[in-house]
């Protein structure tokens, strides 16, 4: 399994408690559209991801991340 796959699996497990609608999660799943998260949920989720991977996701990065796949790529890049 690649590092990216491990990150993807971990991100999915972090999303699970926030996935109130039981949306099927894929790389293309969007946080705002598919999961219908409000800004508070996003903030809580970002905090969970930052804790999980020991990284900081800047506000500018958050603004560009719309899908699970983009988040996985961002985490992989930040973990370097």
* Superfamily of domain 3-79 in the CATH hierarchy: ACP-like (1.10.1200.10)
Residues pairing with 67 in the sheet: 30
The yes-or-no verdict on residue 2 having pLDDT over 90 is: no
Which pair of tokens denotes residue 51? 């804790």
Where do the structural domains in the chain lie, given as residue ranges? 3-79
Question: Which pLDDT band, with edges at 50, 70 and 90, does 1 fall under?
Answer: confident
Q: In the chain, which ranges are continuous DSSP H helix?
A: 3-15, 39-53, 59-64, 68-79
The yes-or-no verdict on residue 80 having pLDDT over 90 is: no
* 37-55 residue pLDDT tens: 999 999 999 999 999 999 9
Let me know how long the chain is.
80
pLDDT at 30: 97
* CB-based contacts of 56, cutoff 8 Å, min separation 6: 50, 78
DSSP reduced 3-state for 62: helix
């Amino acid at each position: 399994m690649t590092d990216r796959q491990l990150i993807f699996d971990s991100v999915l497990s972090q999303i699970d408690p926030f996935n109130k609608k039981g949306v099927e999660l894929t790389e293309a799943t969007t946080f705002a559209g598919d999961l219908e998260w409000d800004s508070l949920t996003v903030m809580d989720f970002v905090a969970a991801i930052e804790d999980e991977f020991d990284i900081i996701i800047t506000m500018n990065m958050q603004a560009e991340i719309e899908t699970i796949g983009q988040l996985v790529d961002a985490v992989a890049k930040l973990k370097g």
